[in-house]
Structure 1
Amino acid sequence: MAELTTPIVFVVDDDQHLREALGNLFASVGMRVELFGSTAELLARPAKISAESCLVLDIRLPGVSGLDFQNQLAKLGNNIPIIFMTGHGDVPMSVRAMKAGALDFLTKPFRDQDMLDAVANALALDRSRRESDGARSALMTRYESLTAREREVIALVTSGLMNKQIAGKLGVSEITVKIHRGHLMEKMGVRTLAELVKAYEALRPVLDKSGKT
């Protein structure tokens, strides 16, 4: 079970000696590591990853380049942090990669400590993202337990309307709004209006995308 939660680093480089050197480096500080000679090999791996992870990727690879692979991952909705390894002549390409969302790039040859520092930052970022995604998923489960009327009320409450105004908009009594408001706050696991607004705003990107608002 401990292995499932141990941070994992994926390394993709067609240079076998460099791959193995990086594998030994990451293993020496207690990280799991998986080595691949091409992006195709990585894609063939089972997709589910339960632990925080990052990708150390050579920008020049046979077949699909590191930059093209970064674009593929983005289209798949995979936002694993990426650290690019580059040659001196690849710096302009690396700048493009950074603009497209890469976390860092190291020019070969690089110091072991620079690579370890970059990976530590990437894993910390992925851990933070996973925690945020987990909290949002829990909130979404709570939101989906609301009735259709409660969803109408939460949207109006968090927009700043008073109970009386909400009652007028929905054509119901003010006491009915208060009842719905009490129920939805209990279901959302919040005690104050400020907490409710914060929770609803955290869900807005998901709700807007799915059309559930």
Structure 2
Amino acid sequence: MNAMQPTVCIVDDDDSVRRALARMLGAHRYHTSIFDSARHFLDEVDLDGAPACAVIDLQMPEMDGIALQQTLSQRIPIVILTGHADVTNAVQAMQAGAVDFLEKPVQDQLLLRAVERACERATEQFARKTELRLLKQKVERLTPREREVLAWIVSGLRNKQVASELGTVEKTIKVHRAHVMQKLEVDSLPALVRIADKMGMGLVARA
């Protein structure tokens, strides 16, 4: 089993449903974890440690599926199951980003398709989060001055122009630029721009 395969978390207060879903998904080579309540799920699962998605029952005591979805705030992909179809809940769940909203007893193929989509999203989300975490670590290596230089460079200014903006000489900017590229482990301006864009580092506006 691939260590990076997403875990499918099954959250349902009905033990027989949890086990049936786990057996069915396990038979199709999905890795599953089961939880008897939303609180148990929130207390036990590391949402940032590995890719995961969740199949959540809508009607649960204390915290229902919609409330859990709102608490998770799209941190992982969700499929919602319900024993009582409700258009309002379905619309609310889908607008909040649910992969699907399915009625129990759910057909295996419908659930499998939904879980497949959820796992694909989970893999993509985890890859993006991992990339951003690594980029953040690299950016944190920069000194405050190097961050200033980076902001001006990705704004499209040449070294001489950056030097003028920062009140220094071009040679100093070249040194800072070299350090920035070394610490961020890139070798081109487009690569610097991509990092700045992914990290939400806004361009500097010239006065």
The TM-score, its normalising length taken from structure 2, stands at 0.88
Q: Which residue of 2 aligns with 1:54?
A: 53
Aligned to 1:211: none
2:106 aligned counterpart, secondary structure: coil
More helix by share: 1
1:138 aligns with 2:114: no
Quote how far apart the aligned CAs of 1:196 are. Answer: 0.8
Tell me if 1:164 matches 2:163: no
RMSD: 2.0
Find the aligned partners of 1:155 and 1:7 in 2 and give their Cα distance. 36
| Count of residues in Structure 1 that have an aligned counterpart in Structure 2 | 202
Tell me whether 1:191 sits opposite 2:190 in the alignment. no
Distance 1:27 1:36 in 2: 16
Report the residue type matching 1:170 in the other structure: L
**Partner residue, 1:40:** 39
What CA distance in whole angstroms lies between the structure 1 residues aligned with 2:179 and 2:44? 45
Matched, 1:69 2:68: yes
Match of 1:177 in 2: 173
SS at match of 1:160: coil
Q: Secondary structure at the match of 1:54?
A: strand
8 Å contact kept, 1:4–1:50 = no
- Given the superposition, is the C-alpha separation of residues 44 and 182 from structure 1 closer, same or farther in structure 2, using an over 3 Å criterion? closer
Q: Shift of residue 52 of structure 1?
A: 2.1
How far did residue 66 of structure 1 move?
A: 0.8
2:66 partner letter? L
Does residue 11 of structure 1 match 2:10?
A: yes
Aligned to 1:21: 20
Structure 2: 5+ residue stretches without partners: 203-207
Matches within 5 A, 1:92-111: 92-111=88-107
- In structure 1, the gaps of 5 or more residues are 209-213
* Residue range with higher mean Cα deviation, 43-52 or 61-70: 43-52
- Residue 172 of structure 1 deviates from its aligned partner by 0.2
Identity of aligned residues (%): 38
Q: Distance in 1 between matches of 2:30 and 2:48?
A: 14
Residue identity in the other structure for 1:160: G
TM-score after normalising by structure 1: 0.86
How far has the Cα of 1:21 moved from its partner? 1.1
How many Å apart are 1:47 and its aligned residue? 3.1
Distance 1:185 1:60, change over 3 A: same
